[in-house]
Amino acid sequence: MYEPDHDQQLNHSFDPAARNLMHAQQEMGGMNLLIRLNFKYILKLLLYWLLPITMISIGSGLASFFYISKYKTKVYTTQAIMVRLGRNEEGPYLYPQVDANTVLETVKIRRNLEKVKDRLDLELSVRDLYGIIEVRAGNRSDTFYVKSTYKDPQICKDIANTMCEVFIETYSQVFNESAQEVYQYYLSQREKVFQQVSDAEDELKRVKEKLGVIQPDQELEMKMGQLSDAEVAYQEALMRKEELQSKIDDMKKRIADLPEKVQVSETLTRESGKEIELLERELERSLQRYTENNPKIKEMKLKLKQLKKYKEQNVQEKEVPDSRTISLNTVRQDLEAQLTSMKNEYVVLDETILKRKNRIEEIRSELKGISNVQEEYMNAKHKVDVSRELLDVIDRRISEVRIAKDSSSHDIGILERAVAPVFPEPTGRKILAIVSTFGTAFFGVVFVLVYAIFSPGVKVPGDLDSMNAVEFIGTLPKKKNSTLTTYFATLQVVVNKIDQQTSSSRNTMVSFSSVKNKEGKSTIMDDITDMKSVTGKRFLILKRVVEEDAKRIIQVPKESIINFQDFREENMILPEPVKINERVSRLYYIIDSNVSKMNILPEMVDNFKNSFSEYDCIFVELFSPKKNYQVSSCIMHSSNYNILVTKYGSNTVSALDKVTKLASAGTDKKVGTVINFGDLSLG
């Protein structure tokens, strides 16, 4: 056992200056960020990992390069250009010109894709064809680019050109269906009105012959003129109402056929073929561990059979996507806006028709005072005039609808046809390889930096450069062939030698290096790398090194280090507890991990009672509760003290701070502190 050098007896580490330093360490959790930022240490760690990071990054880049080169299919891309000719705004049109977004939405509708597939006899599904065609607006709002991507350059060209042709045909047909219905309606009305004109002229001729009237008076003529204008306006409003009703019915049919939402894109993250391959590999590995009758093997075989059956049934279909992006149908929205406008106009026409009808009745009431002869003549003449004017209105509407119908079929044309591409699209393998290389290197450096800053290494505040450094190279017993007691016995020899070499120095940092044998293997159980001192108070810092910095800091005065395994010796005398203040004392024990197997628990309990007999409560801080739980529990439960237990760690408030607060909380009870550093060698 280690005996302290009384000639160089040190003052206890809990004087005011040392306690302030310890409290500062506790507030920082022993791991202040500024202390962590040891740039020399970070640089050393980066240089250590430089070669592995470089090799892994280069390997990642090369793997990406060769994978893309071997497995990515070469595809060709070409495009055709369509142009929409501007309309003459003064010309009559049945519908206003739609915007560019509406045109883009109507290119890749299912009807058009099916026609393209049938014309080119493509062995593709409509969904696949939808994915290889891209439609976008040009720099001008009246130009549209139809781009196709396919593995065969000739088919790629044909797809783009055929898509343009089919769209132009469908576009004209869609926007002219209602125009054709209106045109047929006006033709039928023209025949009826033409017959009315002929009948009215015959009636006027008979009235003239009967009454011998050449010219009515001016007043009657004026009234009849007003009546004629009112009736013409009334009939025109009725026809306009019929026309609007036809448009509204047609628009409702078109809107009903359009979905409210359309699919914009879809995402497929896993295919059944790859899932079958992964399941087969897993089954092969499981058969090495389990028999054929194992439930897990049966379940995997059943799932594999179902996946193969599903793939055979859907061999021509693409995998069901995992997610789809849905958006509102802009074509439907545009048509609904037009329908709303037509309905509003329809309501206004109803009010106009009612007003004109009332006006006609007013004029006719004014004509009651006119003589029957004049009225009969003017009525006959009025019928002729109304019929002729109505015939003129119908002729004008027929002409307008014909112009609108003809002009709509020539709104869009092919400006430039697609040609077969010569070179395939670049795979981007070089860029991806570079990104993979530098990305791997970046994350490697970030990992090392985070590791360097947040690793559990301990940095003690202070000017370490001003400390005297002593290097001690030696070996310690191997873990398998030695006990913890042997380990600490060897450690005490090391401590004695360090004390002899550093007795004249108040600030000392001692580093240990492991010694390797001829085969290059480490011969010690753990590396002890740092022994640091702060302001003349020596603190023994033990650390297990596995390619990283300090893991634990144990602030233990040499005078208080005791191994409980030494209690087997007779008349063992414990050192006196270190007095912190009048009501708080502290004593450090190191408990062997094998002590629970020895018949020494009664002695340990007696020593606790003797050491802390004057205290009212004991504060126990467990360093390794899993290894020493039985021993610590026996000690605590057999001592009949009011015991408070906590776990030691660099991120928790130390026992000293808790005990000091407990003792200074206005009570007269005395508090004893026990730190259990059991199983210290195992980190």
* Residues in Cβ contact with 481 at an 8 Å cutoff, skipping those fewer than 6 apart: none
The full set of domain ranges for the chain reads 6-30+459-558, 55-72+427-450, 76-265+329-416, 269-317, 561-682
**DSSP for 546-603, written as a single string:** SSSS--------GGG--BGGGGGSTT--PPPPEESSSSEEEEEEB--TTGGGSS-HHH
- Nearest Cα neighbor of 536 from 510, 515, 505, 570 is 505
- Nearest Cα neighbor of 538 from 7, 32, 9, 2 is 9
Q: Does domain 561-682 have CATH number 1.10.3120?
A: no
Pairwise CA distance, residues 408 & 176, whole Å: 7
The pLDDT tens digits for 618-667 are 666 655 444 444 455 555 555 555 555 554 443 334 555 665 666 666 55
> Distance between terminal CA atoms of the chain?
22
- Nearest Cα neighbor of 223 from 341, 328, 364, 108 is 364
Pairwise CA distance, residues 294 & 276, whole Å: 20
Contact 680, 592 (CB under 8 A): no
Distances (CA, A) of 353 to 198, 226, 347, 450: 26, 16, 10, 82
Amino acid at 390: L
The SS3 assignment for 220 reads helix
State the pTM of this model. Answer: 0.32
How many Å separate Cα 641 from the centre of its chain? 56
* Residues in Cβ contact with 317 at an 8 Å cutoff, skipping those fewer than 6 apart: 125
Number of H helices, E strands in the chain: 17, 15
| Predicted pLDDT at 146 | 92
* Residues in Cβ contact with 194 at an 8 Å cutoff, skipping those fewer than 6 apart: 391
| Predicted pLDDT at 516 | 40
Contact 126, 67 (CB under 8 A): no
What are the tokens at 286? Answer: 């499981």
Pairwise CA distance, residues 613 & 78, whole Å: 94
Scanning 289-371, the segments in alpha helix (DSSP H) are 295-313, 330-366
The per-residue b/e assignment along 190-220, b for 16 or more CB within 10 angstroms, e otherwise, is beebbebbeebeebbeebeeeeebeebeeeb
Low-confidence residues of the chain: pLDDT under 70: 1-42, 44-45, 69-72, 86-98, 172-179, 208-220, 262-273, 314-324, 368-375, 404-411, 427-429, 452-614, 616, 618-683
- What residue has token string 């359309």? 262
- Nearest Cα neighbor of 418 from 43, 47, 18, 82 is 82
Pairwise CA distance, residues 106 & 135, whole Å: 10
